[in-house]
Structure 1
Amino acid sequence: MPYPIAYQLYSSRNFPPLVDQLPILKSMGYDAIEPWLPAYETDPKAFRRALDDAGLKCFGFHMPLGGLVGEPQRFIEIAQTLGATYLIPPYVTPDERQPTAAYWRGLGEKLATGAEAAQKHGLAVAWHNHDFEFIPFSDGTRPIDHIFEAGGDAVKFEIDCGWIVRAGADPAAELRRFADRIVAIQTKDTAPIGTKEDDGWTATGDGIIDWAAIVPLFRETKADHIVTEHDNPGDWQLFARRSIEHLKALGL
């Protein structure tokens, strides 16, 4: 069975209005969008109506870690309004990060507390990675390992393959390592390291990741959907179209 494919709306944040993008994405074959804050914040009900009108779903959305810690009920209610299952904190700023296992274990514990609250409503919390979680400490351990060890089984994972490659790690190895935790797979692709155009990102299939080689590993995870993303496309429609066409050609 093909996976449902979502589009991370952050990709086209620089091409407003976002609501006008929804029917275009549907026409390309997308099943859902993955919004980021603040796209849905002002009026979640209106955002849901726009999704319904376009025939799109929302499986999960990006949100601040601080919101999960300080306002869990607010974001749980947003998830319920949007029809989403996954609350996905995706980032901590450089100023917040500390190069210690204790810091990252603390982050995992915060995710676990949020996951406990979400589970009561049939929802789940998933961490979304960048590159910094995969940079080893001097003892060989990595932030991502401490996050999940401290977070426990309830903390899920939206794996971003492009950022893993940027970190010098192997997405195939990480798909295997975290197979039981992965609930969504971002097929972000990267151009050769050093590329300046579009900040070095590119459409899925146009970069250096061998998707045909790792797609079989997708089926070994618990992922129930795929997400396309590009951090800074010059042409968002070209990125969106080429990405979904490549994924469908791979049988996804």
Structure 2
Amino acid sequence: MPYPIAYQLYSSRNFPPLADQLPILKSMGYDAIEPWLPAYEADTKLFRRQLDDAGLACYGFHMPLAGLVSEPNRFIDIALTLGATVMIPPYVTAEERQNTPDYWRELGHKLARGAVAAASHGLKVAWHNHDFEYVPLPDGTRPIDHIFEAGGPDVLFEIDCGWITRAGADPAQELKRYANRIIAIQTKDTAPLGTKTDDGWTATGDGIIDWANLVPLFRATKADHIVTEHDNPSDWQRFARRSIDHIKALGL
């Protein structure tokens, strides 16, 4: 069975209005969008109506870690309004990060507490990686491993293959290592190191990642959907179309 395919709206944040993008994405074959804050913040009910009108779903959405810690009920309400099932904190700033295992383990504990609150509403919590979680700490351990070990089995994973590649790690190994935790797969692709165009990001299939070799590993995870993303496309429609066409050509 093919995976449902979502589009991360952050990709086209520089081409407003977002509402006008939704029917275009539907016409390309997308099943859903994955919004980021503040796309849904001003009027979540209106945003949901716009999704419904376009025939698009929302499986998960990006949100601040601080929101999960300090305002869990607010973001649970947002999830329920959007019809989403996965709440996804994706980032901590460079100023917040500490180069110690204890910092990353406490981040895992925060996610775990959020997962408990979410579970009572039928929702799940997943972490989304960038590159910094794969940079070894002074003791040689990795933040990503501390996050999930401390978080426990209820903290899930939206894996971003592009950022893992940028960090010098191997997406294949991470797909294997966290197969039982991965609930969504971002097929972000990256151009060769040193590429300046579009900050070095590309459409899925136009970069250096060998997606065909990763497909069997996708199937071995618990992922229930695929997400396309590009951090700074100069042509968002070209990115969106080329990415979904490549994903479908892979048989996903």
Q: Deviations over 1:11-37 (max 9, x none)?
A: 000000000000000000000000000
Partner of 1:146: 146
Answer yes or no: is 1:206 the counterpart of 2:206.
Answer: yes
1:112-131 aligned at under 5 Å gives the runs 112-131=112-131
| Alpha-carbon separation, structure 2, partners of 1:156 and 1:71 | 20
Partner of 1:24: 24
Q: Secondary structure at the match of 1:6?
A: strand
Q: Secondary structure at the match of 1:226?
A: strand
Question: What TM-score comes out, normalization by structure 2 length?
Answer: 0.99
1:77-226 aligned at under 5 Å gives the runs 77-226=77-226
Answer yes or no: is 1:40 the counterpart of 2:40.
Answer: yes
| Alpha-carbon separation, structure 2, partners of 1:171 and 1:135 | 14
Q: Paired residues, what number?
A: 252
Q: Which runs of 4+ in 1 moved over 3 A?
A: none
| Alpha-carbon separation, structure 2, partners of 1:104 and 1:239 | 33
Do the aligned residues in 1 keep the contact of 2:99 with 2:138 (CA within 8 Å)? no
Partner of 1:50: 50
Q: Write the letter of the residue equivalent to 1:4.
A: P
Deviation for aligned residue 1:136: 1.1
Q: Secondary structure at the match of 2:58?
A: coil
Q: Write the letter of the residue equivalent to 1:126.
A: A
Deviation for aligned residue 1:126: 0.2
Q: Secondary structure at the match of 2:81?
A: helix
Deviation for aligned residue 1:214: 0.5
Partner of 2:239: 239
Q: Write the letter of the residue equivalent to 1:234.
A: S
Deviation for aligned residue 1:69: 0.3
Do the aligned residues in 1 keep the contact of 2:51 with 2:57 (CA within 8 Å)? yes
Partner of 1:250: 250
User: Structure 1 unaligned runs (5+)?
Assistant: none
| Alpha-carbon separation, structure 2, partners of 1:98 and 1:137 | 9
Q: Secondary structure at the match of 2:78?
A: helix
| Alpha-carbon separation, structure 2, partners of 1:87 and 1:165 | 24
| Alpha-carbon separation, structure 2, partners of 1:140 and 1:188 | 27
| Alpha-carbon separation, structure 2, partners of 1:140 and 1:2 | 39
Using the aligned pairs only, state the percent identity: 81
| Alpha-carbon separation, structure 2, partners of 1:86 and 1:42 | 20
Q: Secondary structure at the match of 1:217?
A: helix
Q: Secondary structure at the match of 2:207?
A: coil
Answer yes or no: is 1:61 the counterpart of 2:61.
Answer: yes
| Alpha-carbon separation, structure 1, partners of 2:193 and 2:116 | 39
Q: Deviations over 1:125-146 (max 9, x none)?
A: 0000000001112332100000
Q: Secondary structure at the match of 1:221?
A: coil
Deviation for aligned residue 1:60: 0.2
Answer yes or no: is 1:230 the counterpart of 2:220.
Answer: no
Computed over aligned residues only, the root mean square deviation of the Cα atoms, in angstroms, reads: 0.4
Q: Secondary structure at the match of 1:33?
A: strand
Question: What TM-score comes out, normalization by structure 1 length?
Answer: 0.99
Do the aligned residues in 1 keep the contact of 2:135 with 2:167 (CA within 8 Å)? yes
| Alpha-carbon separation, structure 1, partners of 2:53 and 2:105 | 42
